[in-house]
Structure 1
Amino acid sequence: MKHQHSFWVTTSAIAIASLIGASAMAAGPEAGSVIGNQATATYTNAAGDTITVTSNKVETVVQQVAGLTLTSDNTEEIAPGGKAFLPHIITNDGNGPDTYTLTAIEGAGDFDFNSVVIYADANMDGVADNATPITETPTLAPGETFGIVIVATAPSTAAGGDSEAVTVTATSQLDGNIAAINTDTMTVSTGAIMELVKSMVVDKSAGDPNIVDAGDTVSVTLTYTNTGLAPSTSYIVTDALDLDLPYVAASAQWTDVTVAGGLDETNGGAIDATNGVGETLAWQADTVSNQVGFLISNVDPGRTGAVTFDVVVGPDAVAGIIENVAQQSDSTGTLPPSNTASIIIDEQFAHVIDDSFTQSDATVLRSSTDDNGANDVVLESTDVSQGGKIAFEFVIGNASNQSDAYTLNVANGDFPLGTTFSIVGADGATPIIGEIPLAAGDGTKVFVIATLPSDVTPTAAGATNYTATVSATSSESGQVNTSTAEFNGAVLGAAVDLENAVAGSEGDGPNPDNGGSAWVTTATDPGEPVSFPMTIENQGPTSDNYNLELANPLPDGWTVEFQLADGTIVTNTGTIPAGATETITVVITPADDAAPATTPFEVVLTSPISGQGDSIIDAVTVNEIIDLSITADQTAQAAPGGVVDILHTLTNDGNVAITEGAITEAGLSEFSGAIYYDANGNGELDATDPIIDNINDIPGGIAVGETVNLIYRVQTSEVPGMTEAGTITVATSLNGGTKTDQDLTDNAVEDQIVVVSGDVVLVKTQAIDPACDGTVGTFSKNRQDVEPGQCIRYRIEASNTGTQAVSDVAIKDIVPAYTAYETCGGTCSAAVSPVASTVDVSAVPLISSAHGGLVPGSTASLEFTVRVDQ
């Protein structure tokens, strides 16, 4: 016996390609995407001011373009009068949906085919889906693939060695100029041509005849036929079975010879059977790799035979298709693989919600909170305080043969009225919203949290027996499984005491009363925080935590913070052990405009577990504050002899309304100025806005926290470059001398007014460079169309439209999304003008240029190119 060592052959690349459908995603922007950006420029004018200007925005719309890939060329042998089956795959490489016209045209070879027909192969298994010819694909989305099979029939007169080719073309219907071509070459062979057909049939004589599931037997048949004109010698077939279809030992038979007890897979490749014409067969099976195979000494022309064997559907086989392809070879080398055979595992549903579940990998999930062993009841015996939470850990298991998802619900049995239930994840905290998905054979843990009402009656251990029913409903089958949450621990009472840490004003005991007065009163300014140190003592039987809040809201603009001893701001104390004391500080901050007054507040402490709590009343006295502020110093530009309106805001930062106080302006000599009240608050000087020199010119004065607009109108001289400073001052003696401003640092502003004549305008345009070779179309500010792979040339121009030179002109831009900086091999590198300017592309996607000075009427520009992604 020869070639016994050659049973296990490597799966051919062709076979793999016929089973795996390539999926490509369009890398460039999809049709309709908009590419756009703006440029900026900075310059220094004659007054030394650095000014920034922004260009208009330009946009480019990506157009749909066609693209495709056709794979791949085939080289086959064909017998005279035989057929060739030639698979191909079309991929839409364009950036939008497209349909492709299909043609298969034979060449001028040694013979003419009787027929060449194209069939659909949507699942890309190399086998036609049906007997209906097609001439085009369905519509394919960008990146989507579609399979076809060309069936070519040779005439019986074709001679050995003759060859013929079929040219397969797919052409875009979006753009008829976009096409892809494969060439299939067939050579007539007078030698052996082996066809291998694999079938898998499920034996439904046992079990449910309507379903295919774990434990079912599958009969596999490998039928071989020599359609050639010469014998095939040392013919080998190997079949790498799916691991969910384990081979059944001693089940193999050769149709030529019946062997009692089946073909022997344990004899190391020795001959297992000989047929009536002396042909021998050796059979092997490897139960570890689940690979089988056989070697036949020779197969004569026209001979057909088969090897059958059984596999069984494994316990972990999931619902869906299981496919297999067998490989073949002989003394001449590797031969084409078999067709793709398959079975469909039907859906089977089962699940549990329990205190334990054994997963498909044999891992056992067990409830960590259950106190009484495996009995489908999760028992919790640990004592809990009033208002406390009881955590029950349940295990959900998917015993189905496919993925499923489960909705959980809790129905109260005899927990106290007012008990609430929540379902959280295995971390014990994250709420579960919606369904819980589980793969076949997997399990997970969840917690059902029962929160007792804070007023539940305390009970001794064993005196309670609270139960609730927890259900899990399958989203796929609707099946429901239930379990029980049970509690029989004690319900303990709780207590807490909140006190001031100020000796003599502690306020000891629950909700202490101080004869209607606050226990501690502290004075502060508006906007200035004041601290009240306190202590919290957990007088209950178990550790607890407490929410911190005020019984009633503070006045508008006031804030409260609760700080732990380390300064951490909290709204809950965190866990305090039974009998322990925690220190906190309550920080009250009055509003910036808080009126002079005493404001009491009540701090309330409540346990979210037990509902028990305590409170205490303290107070804050706000001092009287008088403070007007005017902002802010500004630098303004005006044309020679022109006017400039400078907007300032005057704010009452105190807590007393201001109705009187002088407002003066000074400092101008060559320029002149006046102060106006912006009566309608629109930030602009209107004809009805009055000139003022006192707050009493403002109707109603300035209320606490109010801000009014003042407009300082200044008329300049006619000398370019002249600068003067004007000062506006608000008096410190206010309200007829009864009030004095307490902060003198913000009562005046100084404005610098500069006479200038320079001005720079920035304009951005774009032009399409279709070939990315520097040959561009017309530059425009308007939207233009571009295709993936084409280029856009941007031009940014900075023009001095003023009457004086400017200096330090710099233009900045950025390469937009969906594009990359492009030089076209140097033919479209970034460029600047005038010649003395420089360009910097070292920090791409940032691009900048430096142009120095610009005299009136001159222009500096920056140009660069980007290529649209494809």
Structure 2
Amino acid sequence: MNFKNQSRNLRQKLVVSTACVATIAAFGAPAVSALTEAGQSIQNQAVATYNDSLGNTYTAQSNLASVVVKQVYFATLDGDQTRVAASNQTAYFPHVLTNTGNGPDTFTISVAQDNTTADSGDFSNLDVYIDSNDNGVVDAGEVLASTVTLAAGEKVSVVVAGLIPTATDGQTFGSTLTVTSANGTIEDITTGKGLDGLDGTNEDTVTISGDAVLSVIKSSVHDEENNEITYTVTVSNTGNIAATDVSIFDGIPAGTTLKAGSVLYSGFGTAIDPLDLDADNDVLGEVALGIDINGDNDLLDTSEAQLGIDLDGDGVLDGTGKDGVYGFDSALAPGSSVNLSFTVEYDQSLLGAGAEIKNTAHVSADLDGDGLTNEGFISSNTTLSISPQDYSVDATDTGVGEDDTVNDGGDDDGAANDIQEVATAQAGELVLFKHVITNTGNGTDTFGLDIANQTNFPAGTSYTIWNETGTVQLLNTNGRDGVDTGPMASGSSLTVLVKVQLPSGSGSVAGTSTYDLIATSSEDPSGTPSSNATQGRLLEIVAPTVDLSNDTADNNALLNKDVYNNDAVAVTTEVANPGDSVDFTLVIQNDSQVADSFQLGAGQSFIGGTLGSLPAGWNVTFRDPSGTIVTTTPSIGAGATLTLTATVSIPSTPTQSLADREFVIDDNGNDTVDTNGDGDGDYAIFFRVASVNTGASDIKLDAVDVSAREDITLFQDNSGQIQPGGSIDYPHTVRNDGNTVEAVSLAAVSGTTGWSNNVLIDTDGVDGPDTPFAALTTGDTLYYLDASSNLVAGTLDANGDLSLESGESLPFIVRAFAPTSAPNGQLDIITVTADFNLGADTVTNVDRSEVVNSQLRMTKTASVDASCADIATDNLGPDVGFTGASGTAAPADCVVWQVVATNTGVDTISTIDITDSIPAYSTYAAGTLRICAGNAGQGVTEACTFTQLTDAAADDEGTYANQDIRYTLGQGANEIITNGELASGQSVTVRFSSIVE
């Protein structure tokens, strides 16, 4: 077959061949592997979850550990070049240096004469230049290469230019390009590391030819804004004879398509028509073109593999044909050239950022004039364009996971509407929102995540961003502001979990609360980096709840067991005696969605939302299951329960443990609790739990029914002397020492014929008992002392009895009368009785009266000197008048005790010895012994003048020793009373003070 003739049918033809577009999968990844950038901090933080003994789950985070990526140094240099050139011309050898390390590096570039194989001489001139436009030749303005600094992944094109001296056909000239780095080795990626087998060098060789010499130069212009690349191929004959049957073919780069109408050409002559290719032969190949492209002496090669040419620049010799453009010129004279240009388009999203778009033009021609194109093809320099990165991000809701009852991060509205919705949450709860971040750009990017535009969330709400499962908190991976996603490949999605911690004490919040999660590109260099926002929405914040009940929990967060309705109905009533204690079982069920701790309280009322105090003298202790006394519960998990025992201690004091209790306990004014229906009022015990964190609280009512204890005390037994026909008053007090209300009836019966008595009651509140009890009728007023010793008025009931409540007392006098005929030494015994408990019980005192002619009457009274302010005065400074019941004294007050001794007989008496002792609950006030001659009276101003005595013995009338006080009057004493005698009707008054403890 005559190949030359077949090829001549293509004279001065230009054709554009377009087959199917190669896909991104066929194009492959960028040639430079992406190492982690030097200096990048790699951070790590561990998270642990654990449970306590109550089953509460807690999360603990470790400290943040980090390592910094060390710089590693790698680079490649490609590759050895061979050229054919004419004598006295410049031969160009393009090379590419690539920094494949992970940080910037500085390289030294030099070129030297000769290489391993070329030995015909030196170039007349030899230099290496930076090939700024990557067209494989030295252009005006391009500078010599000496040192260059490249960032990680960055490439630089250099071109070695050697001026060939006068030479003959077949001579060879060589050069060695050397690149060094102080930090690492430069890998020669020529097969077998090139002619010298060494790294760091490329060896170039040019062979001198007297035939046609074709220079094929390829340039490109990258329009990144419109995603277009325009290629220009210039074929020049720099040889000595014409090149014939010149075929130019250029494959469309993988991942691109030819732009319609973009093919331009010049220098091919005037009669250029498109080559008609049918549908079956529309690719670059020897069958379609009718030329021996690869010089293997056949016209059968149609695929890259058969041709041995990577037409589309994807680095793979495929077994299929490739689209491309083609031009033909039958003869290209020395010194002339032709140009072919075309434009390709690409889809950024398909190629991906950083994709290398390589293009190499190829030329086949008859260079030696033998009529055959079997010299093989000549390739241009390879242009490299990088697919620019498109920065784009989409932040959305999940649109799935609808379940209003579960706080699991799902989207409760179930709609893909860019709003991740949670229906309800409780104050103090950790609310979970899932969002999806998708890298919709065409390259790997990292997206900063910010929470912004928060509305209606209570103050103190915190926001953190975690991985989808909530086990690892996202970190700042790139050293820029804030939390980020970490590197995300194009098209990949990342589900993140926003944890919103509501403050525990905020209570319910009306209205919808929202925030925006904003994802912003960290790599976008523009002033307004690409960003997108999605919203988290919480429809309702409710107050958390807790359920307090007796014995068992209801295990229902929507039900409040044992609720109190202001109805005075106790859930549990326990019966107890005064001085006893009873236990109540309390179950605390945490109905909130977060673990919580609760303060424990008890009181006798719950009015206006306030828990009252316990009744006086009552005490409540709370014990956990181990028996430990607690005032606050440990943390109780969401939905969990804790059982406690409340021990209520009842005081033994009757006034503090009444059998029938009335007390206003609630907002409805209820004052009697009698849930067990026994007819008497019980003690209300409100139990309350209140969260120390969230404000959740609950209250319930239990009760203690105190058993009745009837106890009336009558005191005191008395004795005295009386003259015939005279009288004597004996003081008594009847007091209710039980815990019930008692009706008391009084009586006094003389035991000796002729003797009589009256029981005197105070009916006007002035100067003590003054009216015979027997003279009173139903409804008459009488005065008695309440439980605090205050004088109060009461009335006589229909049975002639006085009702005394617990702690109340009635002072009264039994006045005894002796007949005028009573002989000296006669004794009368009066039996004084107080009947109570409906007459079933009686208490008795005895008053003994003896008839004497010589009689000393002793009257003991008391007053109070507040704060012992007048302890140093002669009269000891009583603040109020002296009475048998002087009212109240506070601790640290002084009680001024007074004794008036009066001779009520007819004879003079002598050798008088008065003794007393310091009463319990008080201590003697040193230096307070006082005496005056006469009856000082009962007022604050005395009717006689007091003299101060020492506490020592045998120096005056007074002595204090060992809690005992003694006053001596008469023979041997330092007498104030003349001769130590008291005549009939005369008195002596003594005083001392004791300090209330």
TM, length-normalised to structure 1: 0.41
Could you say which structure has the greater relative contact order, defined with CA pairs below 8 angstroms and 6 or more residues apart?
A: 1
Q: Which has the larger radius of gyration?
A: 2
TM, length-normalised to structure 2: 0.37
